[in-house]
């Protein structure tokens, strides 16, 4: 079997390492040296894997900007719920490159919709630690009043998920109509409409978190389509999923790519 790699090859290991080191230092000036110090006495090859693959090959790709990559990483680690030290580190890194404290908190709100309150609350606890370490004085944004939450949820859903979201709502009428209310009033009206995160950033959180969890394929397909609806490109979505190979593993990323293939297919082929 002959494989034909699409990306430009960088066979010079030193160049890959240096590219990854630059990316890591951009996120955290002490990040590269801390990685080396923590691993050199027990797993020196892991240092190379982190620098060369995670940051040199994947993070440094031009198809997604660094802020979006960190939003995706925070969403993935929050969804997984098993890597609190890394989640706190990436929250700090995101703050270093311009993601605001309120945006971090809103990532947790969106993650609560997709992965549950436990995931959201644990993510907020990690954010609190990261904010404290950076001496950030944080005043949360005030919640806006919504007169008709259901109507506002329908409006927000139409702006994002469109037909795919409506199909989900309609499918619940004969078995769990209250769930349709919860989705419209809580997910779309209370959370997604906040606009602390842009519509594109909100869908990055959804795609990354569901891809990392690897148990939500139907919903992942819906939100890949929603990502396209709000202006994410196919390439940006593929970059989000590719990045999940670093944080959730290759099976999760491969399953995500399979979902993307289905979401990208013309309606007649679905």
Q: Rounded to whole angstroms, how far apart are CA atoms 168 and 197?
A: 24
User: For a pLDDT cut of 70, what percent of the chain falls above it?
Assistant: 95
Ranges 28-32, 187-191, 232-236: which has the least confidence:
28-32
Tell whether the model's pLDDT for residue 8 goes beyond 90: no
Q: What is the pTM of this model?
A: 0.93
Nearest to 83 by CA among 259, 238, 257, 249: 249
- Of 67, 24, 82, the closest CA to residue 48 belongs to 24
The mean pLDDT of 207-232, rounded to a whole number, is 96
214: left (phi > 0), else alpha (psi -120 to 50), else beta?
A: left
Q: Cα–Cα distance between 154 and 158 in angstroms, integer?
A: 6
**Tell me: the pLDDT tens digits for 70-120?**
999 999 999 999 999 999 999 999 999 999 999 999 999 999 999 999 999
Residue 222, pLDDT score: 93
Task: Count CB-CB contacts under 10 A for residue 212.
Answer: 28
């Amino acid at each position: 079997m002959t494989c034909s790699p699409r990306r430009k090859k960088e066979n010079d290991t030193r160049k890959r390492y240096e590219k990854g080191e630059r990316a890591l230092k951009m996120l955290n000036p002490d990040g590269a040296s801390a990685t080396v110090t923590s691993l050199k006495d027990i797993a020196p090859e892991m240092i190379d894997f982190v620098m060369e693959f995670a940051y040199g090959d994947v993070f440094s790709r031009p198809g997604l900007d660094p802020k979006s990559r960190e939003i995706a990483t925070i969403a993935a680690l929050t969804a997984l719920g098993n890597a609190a030290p890394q989640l706190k580190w990436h929250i700090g890194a995101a703050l270093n490159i311009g993601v605001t404290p309120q945006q971090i908190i809103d990532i947790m709100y969106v993650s609560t919709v997709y992965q549950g309150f436990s995931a959201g609350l644990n993510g907020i606890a990690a954010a609190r630690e990261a904010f404290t370490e950076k001496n950030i004085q944080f005043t949360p944004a005030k919640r806006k009043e919504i007169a008709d939450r259901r109507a506002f949820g329908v409006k927000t859903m139409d702006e994002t998920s469109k037909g795919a979201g409506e199909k989900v709502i309609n499918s619940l009428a004969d078995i769990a109509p209250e769930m349709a209310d919860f989705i419209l009033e809580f997910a779309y009206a209370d959370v997604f409409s906040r606009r602390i995160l842009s519509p594109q950033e909100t869908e990055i959180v959804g795609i990354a978190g569901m891809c990392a969890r690897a148990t939500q394929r139907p919903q992942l397909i819906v939100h890949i389509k929603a990502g396209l609806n709000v202006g994410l490109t196919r390439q940006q979505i593929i970059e989000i999923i590719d990045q999940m190979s670093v944080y959730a593993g290759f099976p999760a990323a491969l399953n995500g790519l399979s979902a993307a293939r289905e979401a990208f297919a013309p309606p007649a082929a679905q």
